[in-house]
Structure 1
Amino acid sequence: MAFFNWLRQIIAPRNTPVSHRPQHLARRPAPTESHPLPHSVPSVSTPAVKPSPKPVVPAPDPVQLGPTATLVVRIVDQRDRPLQPALILTGYQFGPVHGELPVIDGYILTDIQGFTQTFLSEYGLMTLIYTKEQGQPLLTYYLDYDNGQLLKLPDFRRGILGAPYASIPPEFPNYRIFQAHGDHKGHFSRHPNQMTYFYRRDDWDTVQRVHQFMELLTDHVVYDAPAGNPYNYQFPATSIWRVFVIITLHNHDEWLNLGGDQWIPMTDVERRDGPVQPELPHHTWTPQPFDRLGVVDYVPHQAVTVFEEPYGESNGEIENGATLEIRGRIIDDQQLVWYQIGPNTYINARYTHLLPTETI
């Protein structure tokens, strides 16, 4: 037993703090003003006691999370061509993968091959596949320059961002290209582009937009287009009409547009300075009773002129599609029908459509 006690003393640490003091080293009360120490008592010097040093605790070994692992991230386009250098991500097997997806200007991420959020093996491979961003579309319109009508539906084209485009106007029967607005060449961008091609009829040499008045010296057949198809009515002699367009054909014939799709040849007409009252023989119009409902059947999005009396002065305009309350009817000497739609308001029957009557 004595041997083990000796061995224990050798192994025990030398810096074990003292657990007790000798009785003669006990701390005495500190002197105060009310209890001064008597001069007769000699002071006793207390030996200095060195503080025990703190034990040195060795640092713990780092926690081993597992074998190291490497993940290579390739960044390529759809043709497997590198867009950026590959990313090298390191960690521990079965540990999380930390990283951000690269943002490449002009490209969008469309596919990921070998996607993982965990280092599954010592070496891994992930491939990020990017596709070029699509640009905004190019819209192309094809219009008749003189009436604004579409010759075909607009074209809608798209391409990758930055790719070039070139627009070539198509051919239309009986038309020729007249004007073009917009950039017919360019690159698809983040802003939409627009191209408009205007066409004019092949046989139209010149087109003049005018504000004139013409008096018809003879009765005139009215056509749906210059040298086009005739309507089944005529405009009477001595009537005065507003002229909107004068065109000249290849054969030098001139045609007058009297509004909408109403054309007459520029023959047997005489220009007037304004819509003066033509010298018509005085006529007293007596409308026949005619109680019906109708609608204006003229040109879409346009208005038809109404008159104070048949062939009289203008009394305003009525929009196409408006409902009419017909009060009377007049049939003139040319068998043209006029409807009375107000006390002093008449409209030519060819610009109206009667609604069916209700049967009881």
Structure 2
Amino acid sequence: MKFVDWLKQKLNTFVSPQSPAHATRRNRRRDYHQRKRWHMREAEPENDQTSEMASESNNDERDEQIEKPDVVIDAEPIDSAPTEPAPALNSNVTFFYVDEDGQPIKEPDILNGCSGQRVSIQLPSFKKYYLVSIEDFSSYFEDFDQQVTLKYALKEGLPVLIYYLDIDTGKVLHRVKIISDKLGKAYDIHAEAINDYRVINNTGQTYGYFDERTHGVIFYYRRVDWKTVQRVEYYVRLKAAHKVFNEPNGKVLKTGLPANVITQIFARIDTTDNQSWLNIGGFEWIKNAELEPSDPPTNHLIPPITKTSRNPVMLFGTIDFVPGRSVEVFDEPYGNSVGALENGSRISIKARIVDDQGLIWYELADQSIIFNEYVRVDE
């Protein structure tokens, strides 16, 4: 046992021997690291000061945070529930409806609402007016009262058409005149002065107001030298040859009537110079002289007054006379009346007839004849 105890004692006190070279390396390593630390401290003195200042600043901030006391307001505790918004203001929007002169055409509409609320209104419509402008319109109610002005203008009324006709011949003496204005505006129509004619009658309202209907006014004229005009129907026998005129005291036509001819009379005109004229059909007249009343002929004794040329055509057209009136059609040029056609009637033309007086007639599909001045041919 003594040996064992002795051996343990030796082992505990045993130190591994070091060579001089090994000891020198360890000492040199320790000196190197020590010198390196010294050099780093000498090279960065400013960094050390900055670090120290930063460290002191951080310490100061921490001290402030630690030393700064909490601010306590001596007040009643606030309820954690959300507060209600302030109530919106009420205001009015007034809508005014005026005409072009600023005169009201309807009582104003007044709308009430809260500020910020959208304005909702259905604008009225007027039979006689249309909207032209809106002033100061706003889509929302404001904090203050507002006024909106809606300006309206009168609509255009339908026109009044004015015609000027020779009552005896149906001849148009003046171009058709058309007048128009705003609805409700008044009109007052007077006949035009036409040389060698006088007004003897009229149809239609010569004064009134423009409205939503088309109105027609017809002024009828008669030659100033025609004292009386009579519609008649009888026969005469010519005692002598007669010249034929295109109108009383008018132009002499190329073809006359021989003596002893029996012809029908359709009208008689007495002029202011004491002459009397008889219409023998269409635009042909003879003097009321050297003739006598007669019974109708038992056979056709009247030779053709004029020569005509007939050219077949295929045309369509419209009767263009006077609104609401009819125009006569004949069995032949300068012949007998066989009916009448209303203004605006559609017709089919199968022939064009030209007489030796240069006048043009149309032969219609039913063989009736009409003067070309009363037809508007389709283009």
Q: State TM-score, norm by structure 1.
A: 0.57
**2:279 is matched with which residue?**
257
Instruction: Please tell me whether Structure 1 or Structure 2 has the larger radius of gyration of its CA atoms.
Output: 2
1:107 has 2:129 as partner: yes
Tell me, yes or no, if the aligned pair for 1:177 and 1:200 is still in contact at 8 Å. yes
Q: Which amino acid in the other structure matches residue 125 of structure 1?
A: Q
Inter-partner Cα distance in structure 1 for 2:166 and 2:329:
17
How much does 1:247 deviate? 0.7
Structure 1 counterpart of 2:228, from 190, 206, 225:
206
Residue 171 of structure 2 corresponds to 149
Among all aligned residue pairs of Structure 1 and Structure 2, give the percentage whose two residues are the same amino acid: 28
Structure with greater helix percent: 2
d(CA) in 2 for partners of 1:61, 1:95: 22
Question: How has the CA–CA distance of structure 1 residues 279 and 157 changed in structure 2, closer, same or farther, with 3 Å as cutoff?
Answer: closer
Q: 1:160: how far off?
A: 3.0
Change (3 A) 1:278 1:151: closer
Looking at structure 1, the residues matched to 243 and 290 of structure 2 have their Cα atoms a distance apart, in angstroms, of 12
> Within 5 Å, which residues of 2 pair with 1:113-262?
113-119=135-141, 122-262=144-284
Question: More displaced, 177-186 or 78-87?
Answer: 78-87
Q: Choose 229-238 or 241-250, whichever is displaced more.
A: 229-238
CA deviation after TM superposition for structure 1 residue 103, in Å: 4.3
Q: Secondary structure at the match of 1:231?
A: coil
Q: Are 1:65 and 1:92, in contact at CA under 8 Å, matched by a contact in 2?
A: no
Shift of 1:146: 0.8
Match of 2:332 in 1: 304
Q: Which runs of 5+ in 2 are unaligned?
A: 1-81, 303-308, 314-326, 340-347, 353-370, 372-379
The 8 Å contact of residues 157 and 183 in structure 2, kept in 1 or not, is answered as yes
- CA change 1:138–1:68 in 2 (3 A) is same
Change in 2 beyond 3 A, CA 1:61/1:136: farther
Return the letter of the residue paired with 2:148: M
Whole-angstrom CA distance in 2 between matches of 1:295 and 1:266: 38
Q: Cα 1:62–1:102, aligned 2, differ >3 Å: closer, same or farther?
A: farther
Contact preservation (8 Å) 2:158, 2:210: yes
> How many Å separate the matches in 1 of 2:331 and 2:106?
65
Instruction: Specify the SS of the correspondent of 1:153.
Output: strand
Q: CA offset at residue 210 of structure 1? A: 1.1
CA shift for structure 1 position 97? 0.9
Equivalence map 1:276-355=2 (5 Å): 276-277=298-299, 294=311, 301-304=329-332, 323=351
Task: Return the offset for 1:114.
Answer: 3.0
1:88 aligned partner, one-letter code: I
Given the two structures, how large is their TM-score scaled by the length of structure 2? 0.55
Match of residue 74, structure 1, among 86, 91, 96: 96
- 2:243 maps to amino acid: V
C-alpha distance in structure 1 between counterparts of 2:233 and 2:85, whole Å: 96
Q: Contact 2:234/2:266 (CA < 8 Å) preserved in 1?
A: yes
Deviations 1:92-141 (A, max 9, x none): 44432112223456433332223343346745432101223443332222
Post-superposition offset of 1:67? 5.1
Q: How many Å apart are 1:150 and its aligned residue? A: 1.8
Contact 2:128/2:155 (<8 A) preserved? yes
CA distance in 1, matches of 2:210, 2:350: 45
**Change over 3 Å in CA distance of 1:88–1:323 after alignment to 2:** closer
Secondary structure at 2:228's aligned position in 1?
A: strand
Moved more, 104-113 or 224-233: 104-113
Contact 1:162 1:187 (C-alpha < 8 Å) held by counterparts: yes
Q: 1:95 aligns with which of 112, 117, 121?
A: 117
> Contact 1:208–1:245 at 8 Å: present in 2 too?
yes
Q: Deviations over 1:185-206 (max 9, x none)?
A: 2233343333221111111111
Please point out which of 288, 299, 322 is paired with 1:266: 288
Report the CA distance shift for 1:278/1:184 in structure 2 as closer, same or farther (over 3 A).
Answer: closer
Shift of 1:232: 1.7
Q: Give the superposed CA RMSD.
A: 3.9
Cα distance, 1:235 vs structure 2: 1.6
Any idea what SS the aligned residue of 2:256 has? strand
1:133-155 CA-partner distances (Å, limit 9, x unpaired): 44333222211111222222222
Q: How many residues align?
A: 246
Q: Structure 2 counterpart of 1:229, which letter?
A: K
In 2, distance between residues paired with 1:90 and 1:77? 25
For the residues of structure 2 that align with 1:265 and 1:215, how far apart are their CA atoms? 13
